Each structure stands twice: as C-alpha cells, then as structure tokens.
Amino acid sequence: MSRGIYITANDRVADHAIALLNSIRAYDTETPVVL
C-alpha cells in the first residue's frame, strides 16, 4: 500500500490548497502529494 497525502479542492479554495502544498513541500519533500 502506498502512503501519501491526497487533497481535494475546488476553485473556491484553490489558493488555500496551493499554500498547503507549498507548506507540505517546505517541511517534507519525501511524502507524495496529489491534488
């Protein structure tokens, strides 16, 4: 089983989702993230 972070977002929260992705990447570069 593959582990990772899966994020669902719509146009209304797209800016927040991008900020979340940037924050995750700043602290953890190994975990796969799918938006």
pLDDT score, position 25 = 94
Our CA angle for 21, 18, 14, nearest 5°, is: 140
pLDDT score, position 2 = 77
pLDDT digits (tens, 9 = 90+) for 1-35: 578 999 999 999 999 999 999 999 999 999 999 98
pLDDT score, position 13 = 93
pTM: 0.72
Adjacent-strand bridge partners of 5: 33
